[in-house]
Amino acid sequence: MGPRKITVKELKTDLRRAAFEAGVTVEGQEQLFEALVHQVLDHYLILEYGSQQGIKVTDDELETAFREIKRDYSDQEFHETLLQGDTDISQWKIALREQLLIRKIALKVSEKAEPVSFQEMSKYYESHKEEFRHPAMVRFRQIVTKTKAEAEDMLKGVSKGEQMEHLTEKQAPPGVAGREGVWIAKGDLDESMEKALFSLPVGKISAVVETPYGFHILQVLERKTEGITGLPEAMKEIEGKLFYEKESLFHAQWLKELRESTPFTINHEILKSMESGK
């Protein structure tokens, strides 16, 4: 493969896109010109690395990602977004493919990052215990209806031996919704609902509780007293946090080495004329 040349036209397009994606104004582009140029250069260095490693984004992967993004917009909204980014659909898809490819390359590179050890998680936990302090909590299931009559009918079914979980799983009649297994901290609920939940013994079914959101039938499944989450329960959260930090440092070092090992030249005169708007 021969050397990749980035034309002035391409660079201008890439700079506009980078600024748009970062939410940088026209005035901000002038102040951040050099940083944006280096961001674009890193973009091409990573793509070149992916090409050398044979990492690709298939047409199916591209179309799947496109459909997932597109379904959040109406046709008009999507068209307006393209106009804001000063691009058309074909250019946008090229940019999307590159974004997907860079994400895939980053994931591949991150496989080489060191995993988080138990000792690291334990050390973090011991020095950050207050991060894991929690208020009193309950895990509960509920049925919510729009009217008191509906709630009372549901409660009659429970009193006749119908299991609460079966009621929440059933196809609810119009205006009725079920909610299962949600952990809630004290202080996060409407006062009337909180009073009922935190005074309800585990397993017992409540009477109908009225709140601004409707009429509730509640059942507490588990309860946690106020305290500090233990290391076994906190490990997943700690591992995620520490691995993200390791991954970020590893990726930054990898990118630094990539810049140093990949030969490239910059025409500073052209960049200077672009920066000054000539």
Both tokens assigned to 62: 């591209």
Global pTM reads 0.60
Q: Over 90: is that where the pLDDT of 123 sits?
A: yes
- Per-residue pLDDT tens digits for 147-205: 999 889 888 877 665 566 656 555 344 444 444 567 888 888 888 888 999 999 998 88
d(CA 254, CA 247): 10
CATH 3.40.50.261 holds for 134-226: no
Q: List Cα–Cα distances, 243 to 45, 96, 110, 145, in angstroms.
A: 25, 27, 10, 43
The closest of 215, 170, 168 to 196, measured between CA atoms, is 215
Question: Mind giving me the DSSP string for 2-71?
Answer: ------HHHHHHHHHHHHHHHT--HHHHHHTHHHHHHHHHHHHHHHHHHHHHT----HHHHHHHHHHHHT
The closest of 34, 2, 5 to 265, measured between CA atoms, is 5
Q: Say if residues 70 and 77 touch (Cβ distance below 8 Å).
A: no
**Average pLDDT value over all residues in the chain:** 82
- Per-residue pLDDT tens digits for 13-61: 677 677 666 666 655 555 666 777 778 888 889 998 999 999 999 999 9
- Vertex 261: Cα angle to 47 and 270 (nearest 5): 70
Q: How confident is the model at residue 209 (pLDDT cuts 50, 70, 90)?
A: very high
What is the percentage of the chain residues whose pLDDT exceeds 90?
38
d(CA 145, CA 16): 51
Residues near 173 by beta carbon (within 8 Å), at least 6 away in sequence: 150
Q: List Cα–Cα distances, 36 to 11, 13, 82, 118, 129, in angstroms.
A: 10, 12, 20, 39, 40
d(CA 59, CA 56): 10
Residues near 28 by beta carbon (within 8 Å), at least 6 away in sequence: 19
Q: Over 60: is that where the pLDDT of 3 sits?
A: no
CATH number of 8-114+242-276: 1.10.4030.10
User: What phi, psi does 24 have (nearest 5°)?
Assistant: -90, 130
Q: Over 60: is that where the pLDDT of 231 sits?
A: yes
Residues near 232 by beta carbon (within 8 Å), at least 6 away in sequence: none
Domain boundaries, the chain: 8-114+242-276, 134-226
Determine the pLDDT at residue 276: 54
